[in-house]
Amino acid sequence: MRNEWDDAHTDYTMPVRRRSPASLAESESDWRRYLEQSTPNGWLLRDNAMTDVLAGGQPMYLLHVTRNIDAIRTSRQLHVSTGCLVGALYCSPLTSQRKGLRPHNLGAYLMRTKPSTTPLIFEVTPDAPIRPKGVDYLHLGPIHLRTYLRYQSFLTPAENDQLDRALQAGLRAAAAFLDVALRNAVGQATAAPEFIDQLAQAVAHVPFLGYLYFEVLSEYLMLHSTTPETKTYAETGELNNWLYKRLAFAAVDDMDQLFDLARFRPRHHRLVQLIDGIEPALAPGAAEYVRQRLSHLFARTALHPSQDAASFTFQGAEPGALQQAAPGLIGQMIFREIRYLSRYQQLYHCFEKAKALEAWDYWNGEGIPTPFNGVIPKGEIGIHPAYPRSAVRVWTARQDGKGYLHPDGEVQAVLTPHLASWWAPPRQRETHTTTDESRAELASVARSPIPTQRSSRSGVLA
């Protein structure tokens, strides 16, 4: 169990330690080296303002926005959300300066786009320097699967049959593309436009692919962007979050109402248009980057390390066998499909609290009171509600004319190891569930009772 949580965390200041399936054209170390050394902003993976503060071991300041300040004051409790941070209060960093607390560009985005929320300032005083290990939700598949198998008896036979049918249908419909992705991961290149179009079709059947697709493009934009805006943020040690926000809202209608990456599936022509509208210089290389990077990440996150990506096939494979061979993919599919169950609102805490408890125990052992999203250290950071060795205080915030935040009134409320109540949209094939930003607003309430050609064997974009 602990090994699974180790594999689900990334420390960009340390060499890669995860095991990977055999025959991949590039290793995780190859990609780390490329991303850090061959992209304009790659140095921010290892040396960014957020992880510098964690490693310093000094009091840190975090921003959280909420629509429910009255409920927090009444109950004197704050609950946490699930999502990319598993079970933490979703925040972004604040930098203490002489003029006040400067929001990270992610926090500035949240405040500008959510004007009806109340900003809160959290002061977290750790007991020691914090290991800069971020949880990578793309690697949580084996944990999702193990949790489901442990609590499968909570479902009725009809509910288990519904899940089985949905998984088999999704796998059958997407198997051809899943094999294409594996072939690309071992070096058998598919033309990028064809690959992207097949990917877009497969997302409807395996929604996890939409998350991979979006995260790969977010990484591409943040690491390769050279706009003045991006350079300004880089000077403060921050990756530019506005890039992928623009991408998401341009790609999916009503994404501001339901930030759901299961709906993210632009075809090739549309992908090029989207990137051209954000940063034209990056449009020509986007599809090829997705082909290489997503194929590699899919093989690593879907297959068990004991497998050989060159010989494995999804076509004709049964879900039962895939639990052993591809636990990452099956876990991610179950994690998303189970939310279609009519009783999931009642069962939610059974499955999600089990994972949160394991995460909290892992973070306590690792000395992590403030876990962050380790897919890439872009400023999504949380507060662990069951860490016994740190002090946490909270204030409402007022913002001055220059954008700095200042503590206004202290809020007499404490973080509790309790997950916020589940909310899900109506069941639709294109609408799966909210993601972290929208869940985070609910969580704070305590309910009262540039790619070129492939280079040599290493193959990583040159």
**Nearest 5°: CA angle at 351, between 349 and 356?**
80
Position 454 scores a pLDDT of 31
- pLDDT category at 444 given cuts 50, 70, 90 is low
Which DSSP letter does residue 422 get? P
Comparing 445 with 277, which gets the higher pLDDT? 277
Position 58 scores a pLDDT of 95
Position 449 scores a pLDDT of 32
**High-pLDDT (> 70) share of the chain, %:** 91
Q: What is the mean pLDDT of residues 78-102?
A: 95
* Distance (Å, whole) CA 395 – CA 301: 39
What is 382-409 written as a DSSP string? EE-TT-TT-EEEEEEEEE-TTS-EEEEE
Q: Could you report the per-residue pLDDT of 276-330, keeping only the tens digit for each?
A: 999 999 999 999 999 999 999 999 999 999 999 999 999 999 878 999 999 999 9
Q: What is the mean pLDDT of residues 347-363?
A: 95
Q: What is the mean pLDDT of residues 24-38?
A: 97
Query: For 459, left (φ over 0), alpha (ψ -120 to 50), or beta?
Result: left
pTM of the entire structure?
0.92
Is the pLDDT at 426 greater than 90, yes or no?
no
- Comparing 107-111, 376-380, 444-448, the range with the smallest average pLDDT is 444-448
Mention every residue, 6+ apart, whose C-beta is less than 8 A from residue 255: 248, 249, 263
Q: Could you report the per-residue pLDDT of 157-194, keeping only the tens digit for each?
A: 999 999 999 999 999 999 999 999 999 999 999 999 99
- pLDDT category at 423 given cuts 50, 70, 90 is low
* Distance (Å, whole) CA 451 – CA 462: 7
- pLDDT category at 346 given cuts 50, 70, 90 is confident
Q: What is the mean pLDDT of residues 51-74?
A: 95
Position 442 scores a pLDDT of 45
Position 430 scores a pLDDT of 39
What mean pLDDT is reported for the chain? 91
Is the pLDDT at 433 greater than 70, yes or no?
no
Strand partners, 63: 92, 121
Q: What is the mean pLDDT of residues 48-60?
A: 96
- pLDDT category at 424 given cuts 50, 70, 90 is low
Q: What is the mean pLDDT of residues 68-75?
A: 94
Position 422 scores a pLDDT of 64
Contact predicate 199/288, CB 8 Å: no
Position 209 scores a pLDDT of 98
- pLDDT category at 102 given cuts 50, 70, 90 is very high
Is the pLDDT at 272 greater than 90, yes or no?
yes
Q: Could you report the per-residue pLDDT of 127-155, keeping only the tens digit for each?
A: 999 999 999 999 999 999 999 999 999 99
Q: What is the mean pLDDT of residues 236-256?
A: 94
Q: What is the mean pLDDT of residues 109-114?
A: 92
Position 260 scores a pLDDT of 86
Is the pLDDT at 440 greater than 60, yes or no?
no
Q: Name which of 262, 263, 241, 244 is nearest 253 in CA terms.
A: 263
Comparing 89 with 458, which gets the higher pLDDT? 89
Q: Name which of 117, 80, 64, 76 is nearest 448 in CA terms.
A: 76
Is the pLDDT at 448 greater than 90, yes or no?
no
3-state DSSP percent of the chain in helix, strand and coil, to 5: 50, 15, 35
**High-pLDDT (> 90) share of the chain, %:** 83
